[in-house]
Amino acid sequence: MRVVTIISVLLLSMVMAAHAAAEKELQVGFVYVSPIGDAGYSYAHDKGRQAVEGMDGVKTSYVESVKEGPDSERVILNMARKGYDLIFATSFGYMDPMLKVARQFPKTVFMHCAGFKKADNMGNYFGRMYQARYLSGMVAGAMSKSNILGYVAAFPIPEVIRGINAFTLGAQAVNPEVSVRVVWTKTWYDPATEKEAAKSLLDVGADVIAQHQDSPGPQEAAQEKGVYSIGYNSDMSGFAPKAHLTAAIWNWGPYYSEIVRQVQDGSWKAEAAWRGMDAGIVELAPFGPMVPKQLQDQVRAKQEEIVSGAFHVFSGPIKDQQGAVKIPAGSMATDQEMLGMTWFVQGVVGTTE
């Protein structure tokens, strides 16, 4: 009995000590929608968190697998109550819950990813993933022999639709014959479902599988069938080395570090940030060895154009699936139009519902 008492006292004092030391540091909390071991979306955000953790005077923590809705409100609220100074919520569904909490804690800085609402102490941010999608589409379109590309997609929301459209436009730019078939899984993270969805695409003749999903399931399906794949979120080549052509990936480290610095020196202001490849938030993973040098150069050249602003992915003329001109020649989609995109471009096989 005495041993137990001694141990508990020791443990308690350790807790107290750790608490006292942490007091002057900037506490940064992250809320993730899936487990950080998913090798995907939350994994990418967590790498950003690790970059922040390495900064001076910063302490970070996170809660993973937080369901969108009431659960997320409680998690964010709990962080705010515990005195976290800066909270990143990294999924669209956290928007309204975060806004509710932000109103109650005016001194805490809130950052919401992938949404559109703002407050004095709440900013929103996202990356122009469609730029990398376009480039990965070029690779897929050029590597396809059947001219059918498969796309395993989570939910028919603008972010995903925009990515599919950009991917299709990129593929069409190098291969006008190509069509993109879309399957909705209605889940962000479910390795088995995603893999099955990829197999259904392989069965209709797709020979490159792309994905807007958080697990490498579709990559594995492609490798097993002996065809190619395009990853998402992080470099997924480790899961399917023979299939993985490249991936459209997130690189949050620099952006998160910048925001933390701004909060530290008091220069932070709520804004709606939508940064692209020029800011390094969005990247293309290294090419697999099967991608010909010439194609690599072509894609890299296009990337330069995107970074310099010489090329815009959604520049007209762009038609929808019915053939109606949505973006006329000579103009390009505004940010508002892209953020609310609910229609597919010509060449996509599937519905947005």
The reply to whether 340 sits near another protein by the rule CB under 8 A is yes
Among 55, 63, 295, 332, which residue interacts with another protein (rule: CB under 8 A)? Answer: 63
For 7, counting Cβ atoms within 10 Å of its Cβ (0-12 exposed, 13-18 middle, 19+ buried), the class is exposed
Q: How far is the CB of 182 from another protein (least distance, A)?
A: 15
Among 65, 204, 241, 331, which residue interacts with another protein (rule: CB under 8 A)? Answer: 65
Residue number, 94 or 255, with CB nearest to another protein: 94
Hey, what amino acid is at 73? E
Q: How far is the CB of 116 from another protein (least distance, A)?
A: 6
Among 54, 186, 205, 271, which residue interacts with another protein (rule: CB under 8 A)? Answer: 186
The reply to whether 52 sits near another protein by the rule CB under 8 A is no
- Find the binding residues for another protein in span 97-126 (CB under 8 A): 116
Round to whole Å and give the CA distance between 318 and 162. 13
Round to whole Å and give the CA distance between 277 and 271. 19
Round to whole Å and give the CA distance between 277 and 211. 19
Rg (CA), the chain: 22
Q: Which residue has the tokens 């899984």?
A: 185
The reply to whether 11 sits near another protein by the rule CB under 8 A is yes
Give the list of residues 6+ apart from residue 17 with CB closer than 8 angstroms, or none: none
Among 26, 28, 29, 253, which residue interacts with another protein (rule: CB under 8 A)? Answer: 29
Mark residues 243-282: x for contact with another protein by CB under 8 A, - for none.
----------------------------------------
Residue number, 28 or 138, with CB nearest to another protein: 28
The reply to whether 69 sits near another protein by the rule CB under 8 A is yes
CA 8 to chain centre: 43
State whether residue 220 is helix, strand or coil.
Answer: helix
Count of residues in contact with another protein, rule CB under 8 A: 43
The reply to whether 320 sits near another protein by the rule CB under 8 A is no
Q: By C-alpha distance, which of 59, 73, 75 is closest to 19?
A: 59
The stretch among 118-126, 128-136, 153-161, 307-315 that binds another protein (CB under 8 A) is 153-161
Task: Name the token pair of 111.
Answer: 């950052």
Give the list of residues 6+ apart from residue 298 with CB closer than 8 angstroms, or none: 138, 142, 174
The stretch among 71-79, 134-142, 235-243, 248-256 that binds another protein (CB under 8 A) is 71-79
Burial 320-330 (b: 16+ CB within 10 A, else e): bbeeeebbeee
Binding site for another protein (CB under 8 A): 7-8, 11-12, 14-15, 29, 35, 37, 61-71, 73-75, 77-79, 81-82, 92-93, 96, 116, 155-158, 161, 186, 339-342, 353
